Structure 1
Amino acid sequence: MRTIFQVVGTLFTHHQKCVIVDTQGQGNHRKITAFIGGLDLCDGRYDTPEHRIVRDLDTVFQNDHHNPTFSAGVKCPRQAWHDLHCKIEGPAVYDILTNFEQRWRKAARWSELGKKIKRVSYWQDDSLIKLERISWILSPSESVPNDHPDLWVSKEDDPQNWNVQVFRSIDSGSVKGFPKDVLEAENQNLVCAKNLVIDKSIQTAYIHAIRSAQHFIYIENQYFIGSSFAWPSYKEAGADNLIPMELALKIVSKIRSKERFTVYIVIPMFPEGVPSSVAMQEILFWQRQTMQMMYDIIARELKAANLENSHPQDYLNFYCLGNRENLTEVPNSNASVISNSSETVASSKYNRFMVYVHAKGMVVDDEYVILGSANINQRSMAGSRDTEIAMGAYQPHHTWAKKQRHPHGHVYGYRMSLWAEHMGYIDECFKEPETLECVQIVNKIAEENWNKYTADSFAPMQGHLMKYPVRVDANGKVSCLPGFETFPDVGGKVLGSRSTLPSALTT
């Protein structure tokens, strides 16, 4: 009989991306600094805002050419990479350290068990360094609590000060140190299930941020699947995370109160790999179900409010990223084809390929940001599947409540820098992304870029933002764009197809 650990080990992954180091602090002291986000420590992740796919394959990307859509050794456009990552200092970093220690102790526990069975000596390398015993590294202790000013990066009255909170998706099968008592677990906002204690605070953080939003939400994520209980079909798929439903209900609440509200969502054109494969097609099928559910809810509310001249895409839009380069401007490029694959031939003929969106982040009202390793799907949000870590942050001196107007702190600057990268310039309307004017301009850029990306002849794109290749009508029905039932060059149905794979694997 298989144990839960065997099942988890087969289907799910440790998905946290976390690096913790000691860095220079004040005076002769050292401090702890952590890095978390979406970036893996592996090949294929390096990129620049230009997202080159053909240029510099013989130089910059010579030993880091990554494109899993095609067979190894085939010369083809590289898969450009877009990701979000962050550095954390101050009291919150010790929560990230605690996460590492809890995971380490869990892994070491199984290592110790094996050593006892085999009667071998213990490796001292399995022992964790106790920071409180190292006087020159600042850390919380009995005399210095977590919120002690000595651990702060800046003072509370500093205009550039940040408040940061760390969230996780993880359970007692992956960490050592969770309480076994139900009441104690509930006091720590943990969820108790059969033989498991679960931390699903990443999903809770997303829900709280969405419910608190007043103007707009901007999301970049590798996946977008959820709220299957409200899908048009396959309601029992098990993708029960609330994030898509919360977004739809937020838009509905703003329509009812006659206020503008916009949600922008950037996802990959298709999941990494071969888009026609069984697993990728099922992921795309779940994604289509999620989109359809959201647009249905919005369209029904627009009709109920007698807003016949409004369209669901005035409020909710999906985008992807892509690039196309002019080979005549790339001398001695190694993008020539050495394969009979029609997909490879087409991709290299047109020198185009998607920019893979691996980011996992959300900006709310230009005052609050969530960044981490968690995708918007059930695997990342359940807490009992993939392990994840994320942070939520804001600047107290740069909020709508503090400024009584649109805040222009670092969260605003971060979102604007992403938009400048994706759309190739800054428009004045980008400062007010909730407005219908902004939605229309962004959609115009995205549609023009899609047309340039898919055209037979080359024309330079304006940035990389493209409309996601689906059509949404006034009734909220999601269908293929005319002429694009499958993805350009690489095939695979845009709307996906159902398979016999376990839904737990693909949701």
Structure 2
Amino acid sequence: MQPIVAVGRNCWRIERATEARMIVDAADYYHIIAEAMQRAKERIFIVGWDFDTRISLAPDREGSYHSSLGHFFLELAREKPERQIDILKWNFGALKQFLSIRATYWLFRWWIAKPINLKFDSSHPKGCSHHQKIVVIDESLAACGGIDIAMRRWDTRDHKPDDECRTTPNGKPYDPWHDVTMLLRGDIAGALGDLGRERWKVATTADLDPVREAEDDWPEDLDPHFKDVDVAIARTRAEYDDVEEVRENEALVIDMIEKCERFAYIENQYFTSPKIAAAICTRLSADDPPEIVLVMPRTADGWLEAVAMDGTRQKLMQTIQNSPGGENFRIYVPVNAAGTDIYVHAKVAVIDDRFLRVGSANLNNRSMGLDSECDVIVDCGLPQNAGRGFEKTITDLRRDLMAEHLGVDLEAVEQAEADNRGLIATIEALRGQDKTLSPLAIEELSGAENFIAEHELGDPESTDDMFEPMSRKSLRQRWRETRTSFRRRFRSS
């Protein structure tokens, strides 16, 4: 088994994690990371897209983090004044909080609290966003994935209808939300700390020195999924001033599709990249094609996102399904017991149960070349990981995600696969009437939707495309070019 990840080609670094665990949905993650913050010795370092000082990290639990995030961080500052709390957030996402008097109040309290160092990140081309979601504690424990410490993210794995805890700070209920992150301990946490401090330097021009050696314990009541595992880090970053462009995530997505032999199980918020769609179509048209399943939201969150993303996804999905091997490609939408859509914000990929990827990068143009992103990967082909039984762990994690979405227990998924059903046949056999996976319906696009999708308005691939969207090649032209290129590449490999 050869590894898919390769430093310098599709990832930045490969470092050791003494323990690692995939955490599903924010109810568990917020509880775990809040307690880890309380145990922190030297520094709590948060790098992210958005946050909200008004939210509770544990609306369903008692404890100091049951109150607002603003109050919780002030309590952390009072408990250990010598402990640094450094926060770097995307400026646009963070500045929205100034529209709320309550949020502004907490921000002001943070600014006058000496241990809390809050900075906004605007050091990127216009129209880009800082989209990473990273927490690093003492550079020995870290979380990296798709979960922001923000409003409308908290939910349990049950995604219950009318959950009283699933409300905004203003008391308004919101729909179910599904997300995933990774908790990691060891040298990999230090590498994520290096990445965060590098971003801090770009955003603020100031150095954030590493903390002195302070090793945090793994949470006592949390069993790791992996021990002594090598983990790769893949990034996306736009060119800006002296900062070079990085497209490791795009290279890795294409490589993992090319190397996929049996199946790819992917959870993602968006699917609008013609390069990725062309790679999928090319792989499915080969002899003995794999199955590729995407679990996604029915429509993007927000009017602007839906206009920019949904039509393009429809065109790409229909093109793939109408091409040779298209019967092996499906997109499903999870719904809860009341039939309400569960919004998929997770960014997870499992390839042949030997490759697990969790991060912030979506399958759209922005995440492949424009916004700052960070994904972490467990590849069983790496020498340190080979022969360690990690494939069984990844199999269990994938089945666990499928069981959550299908409203069945893990044994039901395992039995369906044991009956020689493939990935799609297993899902179809277990789909029910309550909490389940629903196929994304094919829809006819209006003239306006076709125009937006064809020109990929709102989803540029590069900074040049952002300001001249009508002059760049159309979705169809880019599809044809990449299809031709991938046919030659995949055939030669």
Smaller-chain TM-score range? 0.5 to 0.7
User: Does residue 225 of structure 1 match 2:286?
Assistant: no
The Cα RMSD (Å) is 3.6
Q: Which residue of 1 aligns with 2:372?
A: 387
Q: Which amino acid aligns with 1:51?
A: H
* Residue 183 (structure 2) aligned to one of 54, 63, 87: 87
The 3 A distance-change label for structure 1 pair 171 and 226 is: closer
Q: Which residue of 1 aligns with 2:413?
A: 427
- What does residue range 52-451 of structure 1 map to in structure 2 within 5 Å? 52-54=160-162, 56-57=163-164, 60-63=165-168, 78-109=174-205, 126-131=206-211, 134=212, 136-137=213-214, 160-173=227-240, 197-227=244-274, 242-253=275-286, 256=287, 259=288, 261-274=290-303, 280-298=306-324, 312-313=326-327, 315-325=328-338, 352-382=339-369, 385-395=370-380, 402=387, 408-425=391-408, 426-431=412-417, 438-446=423-431, 448-449=432-433
Structure of greater Rg = 1
Q: Which amino acid aligns with 2:403?
A: A
The 3 A distance-change label for structure 1 pair 78 and 324 is: farther
**Cα distance in 2 between the residues matched to 1:397 and 1:208:** 15
Preserved CA contact (<8 Å) 1:282 1:497: no
Q: CA deviation at 1:64?
A: 5.1
**Cα distance in 1 between the residues matched to 2:226 and 2:126:** 48
Calculate the TM-score normalised by the size of structure 1.
0.57
Q: Which residue of 1 aligns with 2:47?
A: none
Q: CA deviation at 1:37?
A: 0.5
Q: Which amino acid aligns with 2:406?
A: M
Q: Which residue of 1 aligns with 2:127?
A: 11
Q: Which amino acid aligns with 2:310?
A: L
Structure with more relative contact order (C-alpha pairs < 8 Å, separation 6 or more) = 1
Preserved CA contact (<8 Å) 2:144 2:359: yes
Deviations 1:116-158 (CA, angstroms, capped at 9, x unpaired): xxxxxxxxxx541234xx3x4379xxxxxxxxxxxxxxxxxx9
The 3 A distance-change label for structure 1 pair 401 and 295 is: farther
Q: CA deviation at 1:357?
A: 0.3
User: Does residue 506 of structure 1 match 2:465?
Assistant: no
SS where residue 330 of structure 2 aligns? strand
Preserved CA contact (<8 Å) 2:353 2:394: yes
Preserved CA contact (<8 Å) 2:402 2:413: no
**Cα distance in 1 between the residues matched to 2:180 and 2:232:** 17
Preserved CA contact (<8 Å) 1:215 1:260: yes
Q: How many residues align?
A: 329
Preserved CA contact (<8 Å) 1:265 1:317: yes
SS where residue 362 of structure 1 aligns? strand
Q: CA deviation at 1:431?
A: 3.9
**Cα distance in 1 between the residues matched to 2:296 and 2:391:** 26
Preserved CA contact (<8 Å) 1:18 1:35: yes
Q: CA deviation at 1:100?
A: 1.0
The 3 A distance-change label for structure 1 pair 400 and 93 is: closer
Preserved CA contact (<8 Å) 1:21 1:33: yes
Structure 1 stretches lacking a partner, 5+ long: 23-30, 66-72, 110-125, 140-157, 179-196, 228-241, 300-311, 326-351, 450-460, 471-478, 486-492
SS where residue 209 of structure 2 aligns? coil
**Cα distance in 1 between the residues matched to 2:208 and 2:123:** 29
The 3 A distance-change label for structure 1 pair 108 and 318 is: same
Preserved CA contact (<8 Å) 2:229 2:384: no
Q: CA deviation at 1:423?
A: 1.0
SS where residue 207 of structure 1 aligns? helix
User: Does residue 464 of structure 1 match 2:415?
Assistant: no
Q: Which amino acid aligns with 2:189?
A: V
Q: Which amino acid aligns with 1:293?
A: T
Preserved CA contact (<8 Å) 1:284 1:497: no
Preserved CA contact (<8 Å) 2:122 2:203: no
Aligned-residue sequence identity (percent) comes to: 22
Deviations 1:348-402 (CA, angstroms, capped at 9, x unpaired): xxxx4211000111001111111110000000001xx111011111346999984
Deviations 1:83-121 (CA, angstroms, capped at 9, x unpaired): 110012233323312211111111222xxxxxxxxxxxx
Deviations 1:419-451 (CA, angstroms, capped at 9, x unpaired): 110112223455469x655523412544x54xx
**Cα distance in 2 between the residues matched to 1:32 and 1:272:** 34
SS where residue 88 of structure 1 aligns? strand
The 3 A distance-change label for structure 1 pair 397 and 199 is: closer
- What does residue range 465-504 of structure 1 map to in structure 2 within 5 Å? 465-470=437-442, 479=443, 496-499=449-452, 503-504=456-457
* Residue 35 (structure 1) aligned to one of 123, 133, 143: 143
Preserved CA contact (<8 Å) 1:36 1:389: yes
Preserved CA contact (<8 Å) 1:367 1:411: yes
Deviations 1:288-328 (CA, angstroms, capped at 9, x unpaired): 121122223325xxxxxxxxxxxx33x11110112243xxx
